[in-house]
């Protein structure tokens, strides 16, 4: 076959598909340029950008550039004009296999981050124009930009236009040549200026710094990256910032460290012992090594750390374990693709963080996706790494249970102000046993909360209140057991038991009253919103008739009342031919005709109208049918057992206004006069109930204080 018969042609559109489309976030684009500066032995990189702004706007459905620019400037070795074509404009060239450049940087022998040769195209994901000014090579003689003789580094100046590059043609692309080309610069380094943007947002300064720091795991005294906010005038406060380490505050005693020599390329098995694992208590662990042996007979080390964050994930940057290759992020994973159902899964998925380094990820075969969002886990080496990582996840899920419980308990103490509240509730030496018991109950409950739950102050407060209420009861039970174990119970023991029982009783009553007052206060807030108020009462009146009168009891607590409810519904249908709905409120919009309750030996019929409703003649006539029918029901020979239990009945009408006329008005007033009917407004019944419960609560507090003082 003749040479050259078949030829593969690569369209320039491939550049758009393989490079440009992979980068659409400003931070991801800038990270690629910073990585190139690192590979060029830069010790300082400065990024100038309009922080917290959109780079373009939308006008009449079209994107309009806002005139901003982003500048990335470094003091690295730079490039002279003679190497631009080979080192910069040759897309996809793998520099690590290039004898002229190699695997390490020229001056500082850094392991270079770049490999695929497409990162230089990343800016085209957000802009259309890239201006490159780079000075490098050996020092030489020439002229500076003003035409004066100078000695320094020869400058390459070129301008690339995205639309020209990705045009559908196979002709080689020739960038525009800038005015500084072939001039001499006093210093080496590269400056990239991006312009003509798509509508992308530049994060604010703190967010931008955090996003960039998350992408790099480099720890070096000769590596600094600075941000400059060009929306602020020079000298303004917070205009400049240095990108620091990506810091996450972790829980005490949850960190597992993987240590070893600098560098994490694969090593012979003989060097395996140099890598070790240190656990939460600084005791070497044998459960998992700082790396793994692969089927190729080599050891693949992993260094770094994993731990639990002190707070649940606040953003995607801190979620899970960050994996770095040669100091640049390669992937971020929560559980190394582990399936559900393992010990401590919730906590691991919510709090596990870490930073791992594995330079062998692109040592031979490149296991890193081009956009550096994940690893090729399906590769044989990727599978081995995944299994190792799942072991780490399982280890943390087991080791961190006790430290996590301790952390949650400490948060519970702080959120609920537990110690102070217990001291206030049961002061003095006499009641130390109750304080100790209440604290023991609080700890039993608090440390079993999920970390996210302990941040809910209302939930925590209710659990603290429950602990305060149960403290005397539990102590009373302990005292009773103690007395039962004695052959004789001295008077002192009985006195202690009685006193503790009194405190327990009053604590329970006080808590009930306090809860009721809070419910009433909530309904008072809703009273001017008829829809919400009516709905709130429909949800609670059947089980909480005390909202109408503190002495009323629910139907479910009285079997006789339940039987009466069932029988009266049948009787009403027989007498009137109509249907009657009593008791619990049904789903949907259907309301009960009235609610039954009991007090002492009486039957309560509760008629509830919506707020601001005016009672009219039709309303009253229907209510009078209920009254007449109930009278017949209780007087019926077959219902003597109900008459014996409920010797009388009254009707309470909750209604804001009365607008009766004629005979209905006279009948209504007559029933009011003999106390068969009581009319109260919404505000009146809520205020009355609130006052009664507040008085009860105050008295319970007074009695409890007296009991504690004695």
Q: pLDDT for 660-675, tens place per residue?
A: 999 989 999 998 898 8
pLDDT of residue 45: 97
70/165: higher pLDDT: 70
Cα 608 to Cα 220: distance, rounded to the nearest angstrom = 75
Cα 424 to Cα 636: distance, rounded to the nearest angstrom = 58
Task: Tell me the pLDDT band of 505, cut-offs 50, 70 and 90.
Answer: low
Give the mean pLDDT of the chain: 81
pLDDT of residue 649: 83
Cα 629 to Cα 47: distance, rounded to the nearest angstrom = 86
pLDDT tens digit sequence for 26-44: 999 999 999 999 999 999 9
The H-or-E segment that residue 197 falls in is strand 189-197
- Mean pLDDT across 259-263: 87
Task: Tell me the pLDDT band of 75, cut-offs 50, 70 and 90.
Answer: very high
- Residue 573, Cα to own-chain centre: how many angstroms? 55
- Mean pLDDT across 261-278: 89
pLDDT of residue 254: 85
Closest CA to 223 of 52, 363, 108: 108
Q: Please state which of the ranges 201-210, 353-362, 396-405 shows the lowest mean pLDDT.
A: 396-405
With 90 as the cut, is the pLDDT of residue 121 above it? no
Cα 215 to Cα 119: distance, rounded to the nearest angstrom = 14
- Residue pointed to by tokens 């339940």: 562
Cα 95 to Cα 106: distance, rounded to the nearest angstrom = 12
Closest CA to 241 of 384, 377, 48, 110: 48
Between helices 491-526 and 457-485, what is the axis angle to 10°? Answer: 160
pLDDT of residue 588: 34
- Mean pLDDT across 280-290: 73
Domain ranges of the chain: 13-242, 256-399, 404-522, 531-684
With 60 as the cut, is the pLDDT of residue 188 above it? yes
Task: Tell me the pLDDT band of 554, cut-offs 50, 70 and 90.
Answer: very low
pLDDT of residue 556: 42
pLDDT of residue 569: 80
- Mean pLDDT across 53-59: 91
Cα 328 to Cα 370: distance, rounded to the nearest angstrom = 12
Which residues on neighbouring strands pair with residue 98, listed in sequence order?
none
Between helices 682-709 and 491-526, what is the axis angle to 10°? Answer: 160
The H-or-E segment that residue 47 falls in is strand 44-49
Say whether 651 sits in a helix, a strand or coil. strand
The H-or-E segment that residue 134 falls in is strand 127-143
With 50 as the cut, is the pLDDT of residue 357 above it? yes
Closest CA to 12 of 213, 202, 172, 176: 172
Retrieve residue 133's tokens: 């000014």
First to last CA, the chain: 111
Q: What is the share, in percent, of the chain residues with pLDDT greater than 70? A: 76
pLDDT of residue 14: 65
- Mean pLDDT across 437-454: 85
Label the pairing between strands 127-143 and 149-161: antiparallel
- Mean pLDDT across 183-203: 95
pLDDT of residue 526: 61
With 60 as the cut, is the pLDDT of residue 9 above it? no
Burial of 42 (0-12, 13-18, 19+ CB in 10 A): buried
Is residue 121 within 8 A of residue 91, CB to CB? The reply is yes
pLDDT tens digit sequence for 324-353: 999 999 999 988 988 887 777 777 888 899
Task: Tell me the pLDDT band of 49, cut-offs 50, 70 and 90.
Answer: very high
pLDDT of residue 584: 41
pLDDT of residue 314: 75
pLDDT of residue 424: 86
- Residue pointed to by tokens 């300082």: 44
With 60 as the cut, is the pLDDT of residue 706 above it? no
What is each CA distance from 372 to 22, 322, 361, 367, 463, in whole angstroms? 10, 11, 12, 10, 46
Closest CA to 621 of 607, 634, 633: 607
Locate all alpha helices (DSSP H) within 40-177, ordered by sequence: 81-83, 162-165
pLDDT of residue 292: 93
> Please, which residues have CB within 8 angstroms of residue 118's CB and are 6 or more apart in sequence?
18, 19, 22, 91, 92, 370
Q: What is the share, in percent, of the chain residues with pLDDT greater than 90? A: 33
pLDDT tens digit sequence for 606-629: 777 777 889 999 989 888 888 888
With 70 as the cut, is the pLDDT of residue 176 above it? yes
343/164: higher pLDDT: 164
DSSP codes of every residue in 319-361: SEEEEEETTEEEEEESSTTPPS--TTHHHHHHHEEEEEE-GGG
pLDDT of residue 582: 64
Q: Please state which of the ranges 181-195, 344-358, 677-691 shows the lowest mean pLDDT.
A: 677-691
Which residues on neighbouring strands pair with residue 11, listed in sequence order?
none
CATH topology classification for 13-242:
Heat Shock Protein 90 (3.30.565)
The H-or-E segment that residue 152 falls in is strand 149-161
Retrieve residue 555's tokens: 């139907």
Cα 515 to Cα 540: distance, rounded to the nearest angstrom = 13
Cα 443 to Cα 471: distance, rounded to the nearest angstrom = 12
pLDDT of residue 407: 82
With 50 as the cut, is the pLDDT of residue 1 above it? no
Cα 497 to Cα 559: distance, rounded to the nearest angstrom = 34
pLDDT of residue 10: 58
- Mean pLDDT across 46-57: 95
CATH topology classification for 531-684:
3.40.1340
Retrieve residue 675's tokens: 């106390």
Q: Please state which of the ranges 449-463, 466-480, 505-519 shows the lowest mean pLDDT.
A: 505-519
pLDDT tens digit sequence for 374-427: 888 999 999 999 999 998 988 888 777 777 788 888 889 999 999 999 898 888
With 50 as the cut, is the pLDDT of residue 557 above it? no
pLDDT of residue 511: 59
- Mean pLDDT across 199-205: 93
Helices (H) and strands (E) in the chain, counts: 18, 26
pLDDT of residue 637: 84
């Amino acid at each position: 076959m003749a040479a050259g018969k078949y030829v593969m042609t690569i369209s320039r559109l491939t550049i758009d598909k393989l490079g440009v489309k992979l980068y659409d976030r400003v931070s991801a684009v800038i990270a690629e340029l910073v990585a190139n500066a690192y590979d060029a032995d830069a010790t300082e990189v400065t990024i100038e950008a309009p922080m917290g702004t959109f780079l373009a706007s939308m006008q009449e459905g079209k994107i309009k550039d806002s005139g901003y620019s982003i500048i990335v400037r470094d003091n690295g070795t730079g490039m002279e004009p003679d190497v631009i074509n080979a080192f910069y404009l040759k897309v996809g060239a793998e520099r690590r296999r290039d004898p002229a450049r190699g695997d390490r940087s020229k001056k500082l022998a850094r392991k270079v981050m770049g490999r695929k040769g497409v990162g230089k195209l990343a800016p085209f994901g957000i802009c259309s124009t890239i201006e490159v000014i780079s000075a490098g090579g050996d020092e030489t003689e020439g002229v500076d930009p003003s035409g004066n003789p100078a000695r320094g580094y020869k400058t390459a100046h070129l301008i690339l236009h995205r639309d020209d590059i990705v045009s559908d043609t196979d002709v080689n692309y020739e960038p525009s040549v800038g005015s500084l080309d072939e001039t001499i610069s006093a210093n080496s380094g590269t400056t990239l200026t991006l312009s003509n943007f798509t509508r992308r947002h530049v994060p604010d300064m703190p967010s931008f710094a955090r996003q960039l720091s998350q992408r790099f795991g480099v720890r070096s005294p000769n590596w600094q990256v600075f941000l400059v906010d060009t929306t602020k005038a020079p000298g303004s406060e917070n205009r400049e910032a240095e990108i620091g380490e990506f810091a996450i505050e972790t829980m005490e005693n949850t960190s597992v460290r993987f240590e070893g020599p600098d560098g994490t390329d694969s090593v012979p098995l003989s060097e395996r012992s140099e890598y070790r694992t240190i656990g939460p208590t600084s005791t070497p662990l044998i459960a998992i090594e700082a790396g793994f042996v692969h089927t190729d007979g080599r050891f693949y080390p992993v260094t770094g750390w994993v731990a639990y964050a002190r707070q649940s994930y606040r953003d995607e940057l801190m979620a899970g374990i960050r994996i770095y290759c040669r100091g640049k992020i390669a992937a971020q994973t929560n559980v190394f693709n582990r399936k559900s159902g393992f010990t401590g899964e919730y906590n691991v998925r919510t709090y596990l963080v870490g930073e791992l380094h594995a330079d062998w990820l692109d040592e031979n075969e490149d296991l890193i996706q081009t956009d550096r969002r994940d690893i090729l886990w399906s590769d044989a080496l990727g599978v081995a790494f995944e299994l190792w990582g799942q072991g780490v996840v399982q280890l943390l899920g087991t080791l961190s249970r006790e430290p996590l419980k301790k952390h949650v308990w400490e948060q519970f103490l702080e959120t609920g102000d537990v110690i102070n509240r217990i001291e206030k509730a049961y002061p003095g030496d006499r009641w130390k046993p109750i304080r100790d018991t209440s604290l023991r109950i609080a700890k039993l409950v608090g440390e079993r909360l999920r970390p996210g739950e302990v941040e809910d102050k209302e939930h925590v407060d209710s659990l603290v209140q429950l602990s305060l209420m149960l403290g005397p009861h539990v102590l009373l039970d302990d005292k009773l057991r103690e007395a039962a174990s004695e052959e004789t119970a001295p008077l002192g023991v009985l006195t202690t038991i009685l006193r503790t029982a009194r405190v327990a009783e009053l604590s329970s009553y006080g808590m009930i009253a306090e809860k009721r007052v809070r419910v009433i206060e909530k309904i008072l807030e809703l009273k001017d919103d008829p829809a919400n108020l009516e709905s709130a009462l429909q949800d609670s009146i059947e089980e909480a008739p005390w909202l109408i009168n503190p002495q009323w009891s629910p139907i479910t607590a009285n079997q006789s009342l339940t039987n009466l409810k069932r029988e009266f519904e049948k009787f009403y249908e027989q007498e009137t031919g109509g249907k009657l709905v009593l008791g619990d409120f049904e789903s949907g919009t259907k309301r009960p005709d009235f609610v039954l309750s009991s007090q002492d030996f009486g039957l309560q019929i509760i008629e509830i109208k919506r707020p601001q409703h005016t009672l009219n003649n039709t309303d009253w006539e229907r209510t009078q049918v209920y009254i007449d029918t109930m009278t017949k029901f209780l007087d019926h020979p077959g219902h003597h057992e109900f008459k014996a239990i409920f010797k009388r009945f009254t009707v309470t009408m909750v209604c804001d206004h009365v607008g009766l006329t004629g005979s209905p008005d006279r009948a209504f007033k007559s029933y009011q006069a003999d106390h068969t009917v009581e009319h109260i407004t919404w505000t009146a019944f809520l205020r009355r109930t609130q006052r009664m419960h507040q008085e009860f609560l105050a008295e319970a507090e007074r009695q409890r204080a007296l009991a504690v003082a004695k």
